[in-house]
Amino acid sequence: MASIRIPKRVLVIDDETHVREIIQTCLEAFAGWRVSSAESAKVGLVMVNADPPDAIVLDVTMPEMSGLDFLQALRTNPETQSIPVVLLTARADLIEPDRLRRLAVSGGITKPFDATTLHQQIAQMLGWELL
């Protein structure tokens, strides 16, 4: 009897609509993951608390609440603190290995990113197998 694989659920948080759409399309089409998105860190925090995903792809630079502020709020809540996070940023200094370790995130991807390999990068950082 073959086992049924339940698709991973990923929340993408980015204030740029086209970036969210590209990421969602790529992760759904290439990896088969179920992807939801939030246009701000505040909305993302509400979504995470209501229905925690398997992982979060998080933009760092956003208005109102930054990705780093979101990360701090995520880590202080026992219900959400263990959700793995992959940072998405135009700032290469934020994805240096020591910085990623201090932030306790699974990895970081610089913008602009390669949409055709994004799912592979994220899966590798999270330790997920692709179907």
Residue ranges and CATH numbers for the domains of the chain are 9-126 (3.40.50.2300)
pTM here is 0.94
Q: What span, in angstroms and rounded, lies between the C-alpha atoms of 128 and 96? A: 22
**pLDDT, tens only, 48-92:** 999 999 999 999 999 999 999 999 999 999 999 999 999 998 887
**pLDDT, tens only, 86-111:** 999 888 777 788 888 888 999 999 99
Distance of CA 32 to the CA centre of its chain: 15
Among 3-7, 33-37, 42-46, 98-102, whose mean pLDDT is lowest? 3-7
